[in-house]
Amino acid sequence: MRPTVHDIAAAAGVSLATVDRVLNQRPGVRHVTREKVEKAIREIGYVRDVAAANLAKGRTYSFVFILPASDNSFMHGLNGEVRVAIARSSVERTNIRTIEVPAFDPRALVQILDELGDERPSGIALVATDAPEVRDAVDRLVQDGIPVVTLVSDLTGSQRHHYAGVDNIAAGRTAARLLGRFLGGARGEIAVLAGSMLVRDHRERLEGFAAVMAAEFPSLSILPVIEGRDDPEVAHMLVADALSRKSGIIGVYSLGAGNRGLIRALKEKAVDRSLTVIAHELTAHTRAALLDGTIDAILNQDAGHEVRSAIRVLKAKADGLAVIEAQERIRLDIFLKDNLP
């Protein structure tokens, strides 16, 4: 049987009330007594029954998800997953709400974060814009004792408790190796389509991609990055243009969102050429393109996993519990046409 507060009291030779004072850091306990109780807790291996505690407290966790107001497929999906979590939230004693902030706008983000500092929710998850003032705002929250996790995009050097997202450098490296191996030693040029180099995940993916390309596939040269702003129209125009001008292109790496334009350009311009294409984010469009052979591989992060992981971690932090690291690691999914979910 699992030890209870009564067992602590008996073991430490004190009353239940004193145990309670120690457990919940209430005042009015002499130092020696406190230590006696803490020793007993350690010795009998007591672990608070979180379910019973939450029941007694009538606690509901209030979590806030701060998401950028960009309307690409991935962010839509992420938004949807948060809504799914909200639908389930009454059952899980959580109260989740979302706040939309303009994308790539550090000041707006900082303002929201500062406001939340007063409100003191049980936890905050945010898609971080990587800027020093955002880092400072997050650090203030953490210092205030509010659990904070970054979602999808991390925050350099901040004290956030956890990052629920993939390793984007590794993602870029993986894309490079897949592309390089698929091209099997051929010589040619690689077009890279990004959303914006101002976004940290995109920068990191490119960094990893370029590193492996340079080191291991010297016969392939990377063309200057095309910034499509995650906008299908812009991407379509720029990619179509590049394909017309450069006949040496034999591969494409699309590391951002807004692949709809890319796919359209590929279908128009590359029917005659055999391009090898690696793209990020599994959506209805990229899935179809993978199946019909326009895209050769898709790298993906599972938004549902990221959201659920963020919630689990926030809960654990709010309860002062440890997280299972291996469980919370967000994996990079590699999809070929054969292993689509």
Partner DNA sequence: CCAAATTTGATGTACGTAAATCAAAATCTG
Partner DNA sequence: CAGATTTTGATTTACGTACATCAAATTTGG
The residue ranges that bind DNA (CB under 7 A) are 1-2, 4-6, 13-18, 20-21, 23-24, 27-30, 32-34, 46, 48-49, 52-53, 55-58
Residues 6+ apart with CB under 8 A from 166: 301, 330, 331, 332
Q: Judged by CB under 8 A, which of 39, 57, 120, 181 binds a copy of itself?
A: 181
DSSP string across 183-201: HTT--EEEEEEES-TTSHH
C-alpha 223/C-alpha 213 separation (Å) is: 12
Which of 125, 115, 128 has its CA nearest to residue 147? 125
Residue 24 binding result from a copy of itself, DNA, none, given CB thresholds of 5 to 8 Å by partner type: DNA
Residue 177 binding result from DNA, a copy of itself, none, given CB thresholds of 5 to 8 Å by partner type: a copy of itself
Residue 30 binding result from a copy of itself, DNA, none, given CB thresholds of 5 to 8 Å by partner type: DNA
Contact characters 298-327, a copy of itself, x per CB under 8 A: ------xx--x---------------x-xx
Shortest Å distance, C-beta 339 to a copy of itself: 5
Residues facing residue 227 across a β-bridge: 194
Residue 21 binding result from DNA, a copy of itself, none, given CB thresholds of 5 to 8 Å by partner type: DNA
Side by side, the strands of the sheet bearing 94-101 are 94-101, 61-68, 123-126, 148-151, 162-164
Shortest Å distance, C-beta 251 to a copy of itself: 13
How many CB atoms are located within 10 Å of the residue 121 CB? 19
C-alpha 278/C-alpha 253 separation (Å) is: 5
Residues 6+ apart with CB under 8 A from 104: 68, 129, 196, 198, 199
Q: Where are the beta strands (DSSP E) in 167-232?
A: 188-194, 220-222, 226-227
Q: Judged by CB under 8 A, which of 183, 238, 240, 243 binds a copy of itself?
A: 183
Residue 185 interacts with a copy of itself (CB under 8 A)? Answer: yes
Residue 341 binding result from a copy of itself, DNA, none, given CB thresholds of 5 to 8 Å by partner type: a copy of itself
Residue in the block written with tokens 């599972």:
302
Q: Judged by CB under 8 A, which of 174, 254, 259, 286 binds a copy of itself?
A: 174
Residue 25 binding result from DNA, a copy of itself, none, given CB thresholds of 5 to 8 Å by partner type: none
Contacting positions for a copy of itself (CB under 8 A): 2, 47, 49, 51-52, 54-55, 90-91, 167, 170-171, 173-174, 176-178, 181-185, 208, 212, 296, 304-305, 308, 324, 326-327, 329, 331-334, 336-339, 341
